[in-house]
Structure 1
Amino acid sequence: MVEAMLVTMVAFLLGGILKGAIGAGTPVVVIPIMSIYFDVPYAVAAFALPALASNIWQGWQYRGSISDTGFVVRLAGAAGAGAFVGTLLLAALPAETLSIIVALLALFYVAFRLMKPDWALDYGLARAIAAPAGFAAGILQGAAGISAPISVTYLHAIHMPRERFIATISTLFASMAIVQLPSLAGVGIMSWEIFLISIVACIPLFLGMPIGAALVRRTGAKVFDRMIMALLFVIAIMLIAESV
């Protein structure tokens, strides 16, 4: 148990560094690592509070960079609704199935980023599909704790400036976490033990965020991003091996 907690805190530190660098990606690191020691519902519940706190904080920092409020409201609102549906799926699906889903999502995210690094989405089309994209991302976030294959890919394809991307995706993640927290408690997944762990996990997460912001200024986002994707690939393979 001590080893599991130490590794969990390291995972949140790494997730915080990634979030500070690019504004997203924390659950793609934290959920698979935690799932090696705990089941996916436990990992998703432990991540909900740190997700809410960090995204509110980062979203507030970059609030002045949001230029299309209507787009963000539709995206975030639909994502919150999707997170509720996803939480119901989280409570219903077997733990092994969820672990494999998490691993496959991580692998898909890595593969897509490597194969289509410059894929672009017309902004007019992106605005038109904001609600369905947000809803789908919310379902993934609620059911598996990882929405990056949809949320990050969708917003990255619009080619927003870094500050606007961070402001938008932080609002999206915060809306999902607001719905997740009471929903997880309502379906009996969130316990006081998990809630206390999630409070402690906020410490390494917030410590990691300024480190990531400083690192990306020195190394560049691309180099840092490739290192994280290599880590995700290894974690995903470990999860699949544990589940089969």
Structure 2
Amino acid sequence: MTHGLTWDAAHAAVIVMILATFLLAGFVKGVIGLGLPTVAMGLLGLAMLPAQAAALLIVPSLVTNLWQLLAGGNFIGLFKRLWPMLAGIALGTVGGGGMLAAAIGGKAEIGLGVALVIYALIGLTAVRFSVAPRNEKWLSFPIGLVTGLITAATGVFVIPAVPYLQALNLEKEELIQGLGLSFTVSTVALAIALGSGGGIGGDLVGVSLLALVPALAGMFIGQWARMKLSAQLFRRCFFSGLLLLGLHLASRVLM
């Protein structure tokens, strides 16, 4: 494994691995509405440092999430409903920006994987959580803040924002758009955190731009596949995807 990759002399095999990773990550995101950073961070972490992998995520994650966000028709309504959570995400991510390069990042990633596995198993057994509208007022900001801190530590945006959004009982396409909104804010905040710490260099930005092509291609294919799914099958794919992502992250303790 090559840690501390020198980008001006990057081997062709590493570039191919990066492109293949983002093609797969984009496809997963297209099908279930999330997973690009989780898949990419997990696989890229085999070849480079977490902060480098997170820097490569910025362009593909931002563009694919904006695409996902703008594809729906309820942006204003969702923003008004979710803005406290979004504010918490931004504050937690930027405020905890130094954690990704610290030792806490690896431990947090394993904990995140375990949390995803538990949540996915609950979802696959048809246990449903629901957040009453009156509770959103006080829950949204702390949910966002914790999500931001976990993003700062792992580069992954999903916990607890995804279970929370799913518990709001949104329609399928509303849920996908809500995820896109949450992840867009997370990506921008992560870029600010990495940039302020000097973690985004010109070479990394160039490779991140290159990775956008397979990420978009994978997402387009995945979205086409999602439109063919029934609501019940989509739910199974959603939670099965979370389960696989969680197992992948949790298994890193054995590596």
- Please report the TM-score for the alignment, with normalisation by the length of structure 2: 0.83
Contact 1:35 1:99 (8 Å CA) reproduced: no
Structure 1 residues 68 and 177, CA, compared in 2 at 3 Å: closer, same or farther?
closer
* Residues 1:14 and 2:15 are matched in the alignment: no
Structure 1 residues 106 and 2, CA, compared in 2 at 3 Å: closer, same or farther?
farther
Contact 1:32 1:103 (8 Å CA) reproduced: no
Structure 1 residues 14 and 164, CA, compared in 2 at 3 Å: closer, same or farther?
same
* Residues 1:78 and 2:88 are matched in the alignment: yes
- Structure 1 residue 98 displacement after superposition: 2.0
Partner of residue 232, structure 1: 245
- Structure 1 residue 101 displacement after superposition: 2.4
* Residues 1:51 and 2:76 are matched in the alignment: no
Contact 2:75 2:177 (8 Å CA) reproduced: yes
CA offset digits 1:107-129 (Å, max 9, x no partner): 32122111245222223213431
Gaps of at least 5 residues in structure 2 are 1-10
- Look up the SS of the partner of 1:183 in the other structure: helix
- Please report the TM-score for the alignment, with normalisation by the length of structure 1: 0.87
CA offset digits 1:210-240 (Å, max 9, x no partner): 2112222335324433553464355335522
* Residues 1:98 and 2:105 are matched in the alignment: yes
Partner of residue 182, structure 2: 172
Mapped partners of 1:180, 1:88: distance in 2:
11
Structure 1 residues 129 and 227, CA, compared in 2 at 3 Å: closer, same or farther?
closer
Mapped partners of 1:73, 1:126: distance in 2:
11
Mapped partners of 1:29, 1:103: distance in 2:
14
Contact 2:65 2:181 (8 Å CA) reproduced: yes
Contact 1:82 1:136 (8 Å CA) reproduced: yes
Mapped partners of 1:64, 1:121: distance in 2:
20
Contact 2:117 2:247 (8 Å CA) reproduced: no
Letter in 2 for 1:104: G
Letter in 2 for 1:210: F
Gaps of at least 5 residues in structure 1 are none
Whose helix fraction is larger, Structure 1's or Structure 2's? 1
- Look up the SS of the partner of 1:120 in the other structure: coil
Contact 1:55 1:174 (8 Å CA) reproduced: yes
Moved more, 76-85 or 62-71: 62-71
Mapped partners of 2:110, 2:16: distance in 1:
22
Contact 1:100 1:239 (8 Å CA) reproduced: no
- Percent identity over the alignment is 21
Contact 1:16 1:209 (8 Å CA) reproduced: yes
Equivalent residue pairs, number: 239
- Structure 1 residue 87 displacement after superposition: 1.4
Moved more, 200-209 or 177-186: 177-186
1:140 aligns with one of 125, 140, 150: 150
Contact 1:66 1:167 (8 Å CA) reproduced: no
